[in-house]
Amino acid sequence: MIILEYKQHFQNELSELYTESESTFLYSIFIEHFLGLDAFNQRRLSDQELLIDDENKLQKVISELKTNKPYQHILGETEFYGMKFFVDKNVLIPRPETEELLEIAIKKIHNSQFTIQKLRILDIGTGSGVIPLVLKKHFPEAEVSSIDFSEKALEVAKRNAAFHQLKINFIHGDYLNSELTDYYDIIISNPPYIGMEEEIEIEDSVKGFEPTMALFSPTSDALIFYRKIAEDSKKHLKENGLLFLEINQKLGPETLNLYQDSFSEVELIKDLSENDRFVIGVK
């Protein structure tokens, strides 16, 4: 079967789950992954015969996609902030909102009064390591530490750090039940913030394949991580230190309120979809 014919087969097989444009996007990704053909060459070589081995690989992809498995987990990797990251079932697939958080953070750090070479940064809830690694790439002389409760998530994060040849101080620990001992210029976090009562609203492709502990608050208090970060910021964030948080869009004012007493400046910022998404502060 030639590439063009298999594209139609791919779309037909997935028509009940994906729109034509979605299946076209997915097909293009996997053709590039398996055959090394970018979008231009997929069109130019559309009459090229697929090898039986490649057809079998693509058929396996179709079967996995039909289970709602995220395509990033099938690939074992994803692109984020212009960088490749390995992902699997033990970490969240990084979202565009987190790219927005990093854009804000990088700009504000550059515009701050800090001596960039001496920056000490703490990331809380590292997952695949996208936040600390993007920051380390942009501020290579900064000392970046990152904590996570999941040993398996840290294995993925360490693999990503090794791939990008970036040094991060990864810490395995239960943040909610431990005390910080160091002091930082910047604290940044995208912690679990979905309330337990919101589980019904979450897509099966997320609930079924991404780690629950990284999605949902571990208690009935959806703000538990933010309360702990607020307390730690009082003691362990240096004067004029910066805070960057990704938050639950339904709890913007409530999250903001936790930081108003201990920060000289703090604001609630919307994401590109006009949802309350970030709390940014200057101590």
Residue 211's pLDDT is what?
Answer: 56
Residue 256's pLDDT is what?
Answer: 95
Average pLDDT over residues 192-211: 56
pLDDT tens profile 151-196: 999 999 999 999 999 999 999 999 988 999 999 999 999 987 665 5
Residue 45: pLDDT band by 50, 70, 90 thresholds? confident
Average pLDDT over residues 187-209: 65
pLDDT at 80 over 60: yes
What distance in Å separates the CA atoms of residue 22 and residue 217, rounded to the nearest whole number? 31
**Mean pLDDT over all residues of the chain?**
88
Residue 213's pLDDT is what?
Answer: 54
Q: Name beta bridge partners: 280.
A: 244, 267
pLDDT tens profile 261-276: 889 999 999 999 999 9
pLDDT at 111 over 80: yes
pLDDT at 6 over 70: yes
Residue 7: pLDDT band by 50, 70, 90 thresholds? confident
Average pLDDT over residues 208-219: 56
Average pLDDT over residues 32-58: 85
Tally Cβ neighbours within 10 Å of residue 256: 21
Instruction: Kindly report the pTM of this predicted structure.
Output: 0.88
Residue 34's pLDDT is what?
Answer: 86
Residue 259's pLDDT is what?
Answer: 95
Residue 193's pLDDT is what?
Answer: 65
